[in-house]
Amino acid sequence: MIEILLALAVGMVVGLLFSACKLPIPAPPAIAGVVGIVGIYLGAQAWPLLAKLFS
């Protein structure tokens, strides 16, 4: 749980800094970003299964 709160805090600080410098936020659009993160997670979880299946 502490990792989630730290990630949120760091994200907020980065967002504030980018906004203060009038830069676009370093993130994809909301839905596309969430889907991309879910895809990365699912791929990482599928790798051990695929490695076991083909070895």
Q: Which residue has tokens 């203060």?
A: 20
Q: Residue 36's pLDDT is what?
A: 85
Helix/strand/coil for 23: coil
Q: Residue 41's pLDDT is what?
A: 92
User: Total structural domains in the chain?
Assistant: 1
Tens digits of residue pLDDT in 1-55: 899 899 889 988 988 999 999 998 877 778 888 888 899 999 999 999 998 988 8
Angle in degrees, CA 27, 40, 8, rounded to 5: 45
Structural contact between residues 39 and 45, judged by C-beta atoms closer than 8 angstroms: no
> Containing domain of residue 19, as a range?
2-54
